[in-house]
Amino acid sequence: MPAETDSSPRGGFREYGSSILIAVGLALLIRSTVVQAFYIPSGSMEETLFVGDYLLANKFVYGAPVEIPALSEPLFRLPALRDPQQGDIIIFRSKTEAGRDLIKRCVAVGGQTVEMRDKQLFVDGEPLALPPMGKQTDRRILPGSVSPRDNHGPIRVPADSFFMMGDNRDNSNDSRFFGPVPRRLIKGKAMIIYWSSTLVSGPLYTGLPQLLLDAGNFLWNLPTLPFRTRYSRLGTIIN
């Protein structure tokens, strides 16, 4: 005899709910271990990345951190395909602000020596040129006693750590200020820009929860989105 099936509305809702839970679980698994979306909120990586760029990061290549939102540190890391390398653009957890992610370019790895001399970056005593889209816009050269921006080091990067710098060298809060980034804070490698648009500030309201402010700003920007989209940047490989 054919197996009996539950054709009642309750059975349909149960199957529908199970499908949703499986889909959500798979999405969370992929987000945690394979790929994750990130948004660029500042100009510290200009002209490589712009405010309003939305990108996907490969979390698998460096060994994805398995995280629980309530914990500041990952439970463990999956096996890595390779280590971060000089020139990689990397997303990592901030060393100074809990819960915040940063994106910078790796300029040196563990065991290398980094020094800034009058705005020129040296790695192991050799000058390292700006990235192709990098820039320095401030003609002033700040002494090391005032700021580590233009004169810093030399320092040796600790083992299993990485020295990160923004491509917009004069306007980036990076390892010159907060030091090398340990591997445990690294989340993934920037991969591709999937959306990019300029933003228009919505009307200012006070006393509203952040969720409502974000929703209001989204609705304010939505009608003009086709006219603000940077279509030429869609699908750009990040390097």
Catalogue the active-site residues.
44, 104
Cβ atoms of residues 91 and 57 within 8 Å? yes
Sheet holding 113-117, edge to edge: 126-128, 120-123, 113-117, 152-156
Token pair 């279509």 in the structure block, residue: 231
DSSP state of 96: S
Instruction: Compute the distance between CA of residue 136 and CA of residue 6 in angstroms, rounded to an integer.
Output: 68
Burial of 75 (0-12, 13-18, 19+ CB in 10 A): exposed
Query: Token match 């290549």: residue?
Result: 61
